[in-house]
Chains A and B, each alone.
Chain A
Amino acid sequence: MAVVFDRPKALSKVSTHYCPGCTHGIIHRLVAEVLDELNLTDRTVGVAPVGCSVMAYNYFECDMVEAPHGRAPAVATGLRRALPEGIVFTYQGDGDLAAIGTAETVHAATRGENITVIFVNNAIYGMTGGQMAPTTLPNQITQTTPFGRDVKLDGYPVRVCEMLSTLTGTAYAERVAVNNVKNVNAAKKAIKKAFTYQTQGKGFSIVEVVSSCPTNWGLSPVKALEWLEDNMLPYYPLGVYKDIGEEENK
């Protein structure tokens, strides 16, 4: 019988701890499919963050390192320099990448570090139970913004792809989403391009994946995807923010 659907080899045969309706599962699968298709798994080292995806080291079937909170790009830099033939990626959430790890993120990009960053933006701290993230939207209610994020007091949400696209060392920055099939397919294409650029030594690549957190948003999985489309996508427009491959082709 023909196999029409199977688990990617780069995805470990284990159940994940993610909540029902969480989009981490989709994003993990996309990364694993890309590692399979580009035949990279055997020479890849992934770096897990602190946050909901902290146990990503159990889910990818390649060598994995678990980094301190926010430090994944620095850990990846050490791996990158030590493994010139290797492929190194980080998988980070918004608190990890855009709050506590902002310096490590910005400077890895500044150096043009030849790594791939998968950045999952769900506008909230998931693992600790739903506190304000650097990407929490204006007026969004969280455990630590119980009356909504007041930008005058709590500050504004950070747009990571826009910020990193200003840096010379960034080779590729694209924002995608996983709220429908069309966007999931586009997300995979972006992730594939990011890893391909790394194999070509082009430099720092980041794919920001706008995703949902039904549990901490207090919505059903379907409603959460609708909320994502109605609220997150207007503030975080999808698209390519930098692509030196395209620029080289011009």
Chain B
Amino acid sequence: MAEKVLMKGNEALAEAAMRAGCRFFFGYPITPQTEVAAYMAKHMRKNGGTYLQAESEIAAINMVLGAASAGQRVLTSSSSPGISLKSEGISYLAGSDLPAVIINIQRGGPGLGGIQPSQSDYFQATRGLGHGDFHVIVVAPSTVQEMVNLTYDAFDMADLYRMPVMILGDGILGQMMEPAEFPTESSRKLPAKDWATTGTKGERKKNIVNSLYLDPAELERTNFERYERYEKIKATEQKAECFMTEDADIVVVAYGAAARVAKNAVLAARDAGIKVGIVRPITLWPYPSDTLKEVAKTAKAFLSVELSMGQMVEDIKLSIDCAKPVYLCNRTGGMVMKPDEVLAKIKEISGGLK
């Protein structure tokens, strides 16, 4: 068993990426993800890798595109406004079927917003990371250990499905310290990158990395193919953690840092005799709809707890076809709800059910 070390979330992400075989990091400074880049700057070159501070987030994501084209495991990290700038490149990565891992340590928005933790990039991450028909896989850790584990898996899924994977954290997870251990290797079987542009070496026909299809029938075909892959991902990669949901009348749904707050409220509500449980989505795309459908068979109401004006709440409704009422408990702009605020909402819903 590996040794446990006490680490900041952002640093754990960087260390995990290097241990997962990532040797290329391109970034641009922005709070509150700075420690990812700082850690990379300190260790990447010593590990024989490339750390480069780009002139902008736009340049950084395009350097990612270049290194990914060469078949390398490559990472960039940023925070909300910086992710907006990267969205052009993310669309091209998706359109070119390139694997890459992108970290978003979210802060409040819109615009320059603030630097305090937030989950208000949910729509952007799950629906709108750039123009065109595409998705990226989005994973949402809620502990430092999970940040480590999901980083390994993010690189594997990116390579397996040839698409970008986003690790969606927030300022709380990025800044807090917890013990974590680092697995030695990943478990997935991955295909060879015979599509990479590494120079033909006279051994094969040339490879082209490209997202341009002037023939609409051909473009439609590539989009259909990509969405078939997405269906496979939806069928196999949904991930969520259930806690006390078996007999729950009320199911709280929360991810990331908000799930930690919500869990405290759930425990307090159980103490008060309310049958409540929590579903914590670990993948946000694909959304764990199967889990929600299952708990909706017995649950009477759902409560989305999120650090936004209510974005994930839509995926809950879609997952259960609006079969049960879905309520919202939220703070935004960098404000974080206290367990008591969630508990009050649970009690309010519980009162209505009786």
Contact = CB atoms under 8 A, between A and B. Distances in A.
Interface stretch (A42-50, A135-143, A156-164): A42-50
A44 B206 CA distance: 10
Interface string A70-91: 0100111111111101110000
Interface in A140-161: none
A116 to B, nearest CB: 15
A55 interface: yes
A64 interface: yes
B62 interface: yes
A79 B69 contact: yes
Contacts of A45: 69-70, 197-199
A219 interface: no
Contacts of B69: 45, 65, 75, 78-79
A7 to B, nearest CB: 15
23 contacts: A41-B200, A42-B199, A42-B200, A42-B201, A55-B212, A62-B206, A63-B198, A63-B200, A63-B207, A63-B208, A64-B197, A65-B69, A66-B210, A67-B62, A67-B65, A71-B58, A77-B66, A78-B26, A79-B70, A82-B66, A83-B198, A86-B198, A103-B59
A78 B208 contact: no
Contacts of A54: 212
Contacts of B74: 78, 82
Contacts of A77: 52, 59, 62-63, 66
Interface class of chain A by DSSP: helix
A61 B65 contact: no
Contact of B65 (A63, A64, A78, A87): A78
Give me the 9 closest cross-chain CB pairs, A-B, nearest first. Answer: A78-B66, A74-B62, A82-B70, A63-B197, A78-B63, A78-B67, A107-B55, A43-B199, A71-B62
B199 A65 contact: no
A78 B209 contact: no
Contacts of B24: 78, 81-82
Contacts of B298: none
A63 B63 contact: no
B210 A65 contact: yes
Given A62-B199, A66-B209, A82 B92 contact: no
Contacts of A229: none
A79 B201 CA distance: 16
B88 A68 contact: yes
A55 B202 CA distance: 22
A57 interface: yes
A62 B71 CA distance: 16
A68 B68 CA distance: 14
Nearest to B211: A66
A103 B55 contact: yes
A104 interface: yes
A86 B69 CA distance: 13
Contact of B209 (A65, A85, A106): A65
B52 A81 contact: yes
Nearest to B210: A66
A107 B211 CA distance: 25
